[in-house]
Amino acid sequence: MIKKILLLTALLSLGLVSAFFISPTFSAKNNSNVELASESPQVTVPVELPLEQRYPYVVPPKTSLSQVLRSLDISAQEIHSIVQAAMPHRNLARIVPGTRFQLFYSEQDPSEFRGIKFRFTPQEIIHVQRVDGTWHAEKIIKPVTTKVVTFKGVVKSSLWESAAEAKMNPTLISELAEIFAWQVDFAREVQVNDRWRLSVEQEFIGNEAIGWGSILSAEYINSGVAYTAVLFRKGDEDLGYFAPDGSSLKKMFLKSPIQYGRISSKFQKRRFHPVLKTARPHLGVDYAAPTGTPIRAVGDGRVTLAGWSGGGGNVIKIRHNSTYETAYKHLSRFAKGIKSGTKVVQGQTIGYVGSTGLSTGPHLHFEFFVAGRYTDPLSQKFPQAAAVPSIHLADFSASKASFLSQLPEWDFN
Ligand SMILES: [Zn+2]
Question: Rounded to the nearest whole angstrom, what is the distance from the C-alpha of residue 354 to the centroid of ligand 1?
Answer: 12
Asked whether residue 166 falls in the same domain as residue 210, the answer is yes
Asked whether residue 134 falls in the same domain as residue 13, the answer is yes
Does 399 reside within a domain? Answer: no
Question: Rounded to the nearest whole angstrom, what is the distance from the C-alpha of residue 64 to the centroid of ligand 1?
Answer: 59
Q: How far apart are CA 333 and CA 352, in angstroms?
A: 6
Element (H, E) at 157: none
Does 406 reside within a domain? Answer: no
Q: How far apart are CA 265 and CA 274, in angstroms?
A: 11
Q: Which of 111, 141, 171 is the last residue of a domain?
A: 141
Q: Name the domain count of the chain.
A: 3
Close Cβ partners of 368 (under 8 Å, ≥ 6 residues apart): 284, 285, 324, 325, 326, 374, 375, 376, 377, 380
Q: How far apart are CA 60 and CA 146, in angstroms?
A: 32
Question: Rounded to the nearest whole angstrom, what is the distance from the C-alpha of residue 328 to the centroid of ligand 1?
Answer: 10
Does 34 reside within a domain? Answer: yes
Question: Rounded to the nearest whole angstrom, what is the distance from the C-alpha of residue 130 to the centroid of ligand 1?
Answer: 74
Question: Rounded to the nearest whole angstrom, what is the distance from the C-alpha of residue 314 to the centroid of ligand 1?
Answer: 13
One-letter amino acid at 336 equals K
Does 413 reside within a domain? Answer: no
Asked whether residue 298 falls in the same domain as residue 317, the answer is yes
Question: Rounded to the nearest whole angstrom, what is the distance from the C-alpha of residue 199 to the centroid of ligand 1?
Answer: 41
For each of the chain's 413 residues, which pLDDT tens digit applies? Answer: 443 333 333 333 333 222 222 223 333 333 333 333 333 344 444 566 788 888 999 999 999 999 999 999 999 999 999 999 999 999 998 999 999 999 999 999 888 999 999 999 888 999 999 998 899 999 999 999 999 999 999 999 999 999 999 999 999 998 999 899 888 888 778 999 999 999 999 999 888 888 999 999 999 999 999 999 999 998 888 888 999 999 988 888 988 899 877 899 999 877 666 676 677 788 999 999 999 999 999 999 999 999 999 999 999 999 999 889 999 999 999 999 999 999 999 999 999 999 999 998 999 999 999 999 999 998 888 877 888 988 899 999 988 999 999 999 987 65
Question: Rounded to the nearest whole angstrom, what is the distance from the C-alpha of residue 359 to the centroid of ligand 1?
Answer: 8
Q: List helix spans (H) across 132-242.
A: 159-165, 170-179
Asked whether residue 61 falls in the same domain as residue 185, the answer is no
Asked whether residue 103 falls in the same domain as residue 210, the answer is no
Q: How far apart are CA 242 and CA 248, in angstroms?
A: 5
Question: Rounded to the nearest whole angstrom, what is the distance from the C-alpha of residue 176 to the centroid of ligand 1?
Answer: 31
Range of the domain at 193: 145-250
Specify the pLDDT at position 19: 27
Does 385 reside within a domain? Answer: no
Does 256 reside within a domain? Answer: no
329 and 352 Cβ atoms separated by less than 8 Å: no
Q: For residue 315, what is the domain's CATH number?
A: 2.70.70.10
Asked whether residue 225 falls in the same domain as residue 299, the answer is no
Q: Which of 97, 121, 141 is the last residue of a domain?
A: 141
Q: For residue 80, what is the domain's CATH number?
A: 3.10.450.350
DSSP state of 181: T
DSSP state of 80: H
Asked whether residue 47 falls in the same domain as residue 97, the answer is yes
311 and 355 Cβ atoms separated by less than 8 Å: no
Asked whether residue 277 falls in the same domain as residue 375, the answer is yes
Asked whether residue 135 falls in the same domain as residue 151, the answer is no
Asked whether residue 118 falls in the same domain as residue 152, the answer is no
Tens digit of pLDDT for each residue in 250-266?
888 988 899 877 899 99
Sign of dihedral through CA atoms 304, 289, 381, 198?
positive
Q: How far apart are CA 232 and CA 241, in angstroms?
A: 6
pTM metric for this prediction:
0.63
Dihedral (C-alpha) 286, 290, 292, 296: value to the nearest 10 degrees?
Answer: -40
Asked whether residue 107 falls in the same domain as residue 165, the answer is no
Q: How far apart are CA 339 and CA 27, in angstroms?
A: 63
Does 408 reside within a domain? Answer: no
- CB-count burial class (<10 Å; 0-12, 13-18, 19+) for 8: exposed
Q: Helix, strand, or coil here: 186?
A: coil
* Residue 138, φ and ψ in degrees, nearest 5: -130, 135
Close Cβ partners of 228 (under 8 Å, ≥ 6 residues apart): 217, 218, 219, 243, 244, 404
Cross-strand partners of 148: 201
Does 98 reside within a domain? Answer: yes
Question: Rounded to the nearest whole angstrom, what is the distance from the C-alpha of residue 300 to the centroid of ligand 1?
Answer: 23
Q: Which of 141, 167, 190 is the last residue of a domain?
A: 141
288 and 277 Cβ atoms separated by less than 8 Å: no
Sign of dihedral through CA atoms 283, 289, 293, 298?
negative
Asked whether residue 206 falls in the same domain as residue 331, the answer is no
Compute the chain's Rg from CA coordinates: 30
Surrounding ion ligand 1 within 5 Å at CB are 286, 365
